[in-house]
Amino acid sequence: MNILDKIVIRKKEEVAEAKQKVSVDQLEKSPNFYRKPLVFKDFLLDEKRTGIIAEFKRRSPSKGLINGKADVAEVTKAYNLAGASALSVLTDIDFFGGTTEDLFKARAVNQIPILRKDFMIDEYQILEAKAWGADIILLIASILTPLQIINFGKLAQSLGLNVLLEVHNLEELEKSICPHLNAIGVNNRNLGDFTVNIQTSFDLVDNIPSEFLKISESAIDNPEVIKQLKAVGYNGFLIGENFMKTDNPGLAIKEFVEQL
Ligand X SMILES: O=C(O)c1ccccc1NCC(=O)[C@H](O)[C@H](O)COP(=O)(O)O
When asked if residue 238 is in the footprint of ligand X (CB under 6 A), the reply is: yes
Task: Count Cβ atoms within 10 A of the Cβ of residue 29 and give its class: 0-12 exposed, 13-18 middle, 19 or more buried.
Answer: exposed
Between 133 and 240, CB nearer to ligand X: 240
Task: Pinpoint the alpha helices (H) of the chain.
Answer: 3-21, 24-28, 40-44, 72-82, 93-96, 100-109, 123-131, 146-158, 170-176, 199-204, 223-231, 241-244, 249-258
- Tell me: does residue 53 bind ligand X (CB under 6 A): no
Give the range of 17-25, 126-134, 173-181, 214-222 binding ligand X by CB under 6 A. 214-222
d(CA 70, CA 66): 10
Among the listed residues 124, 153, 128, the one whose alpha carbon sits nearest the alpha carbon of residue 138: 153
In the residue annotation, 13 being an active-site residue is answered as no
Residue 191 contacts ligand X per CB under 6 A: yes
Residue (76 or 218) nearer to ligand X, CB: 218
Contact segment (CB under 6 A) with ligand X among 21-29, 57-65, 106-114, 170-178 equals 57-65
Taking CB under 6 A as the rule, does residue 239 contact ligand X? yes
Active site residue 77: no
Is 218 an annotated catalytic residue?
A: yes
The one among 62, 169, 228, 246 contacting ligand X by CB under 6 A: 62
50 binds ligand X (CB under 6 A): no
Nearest to 12 by CA among 89, 88, 92: 92
Element (H, E) at 90: strand 86-90
Catalytic residue among 67, 80, 218, 242: 218
As annotated, the active-site residues are: 55, 57, 117, 166, 187, 217-218
Residues that bind ligand X (CB under 6 A): 3, 55, 57, 60-62, 187, 189, 191, 194, 217-220, 238-242
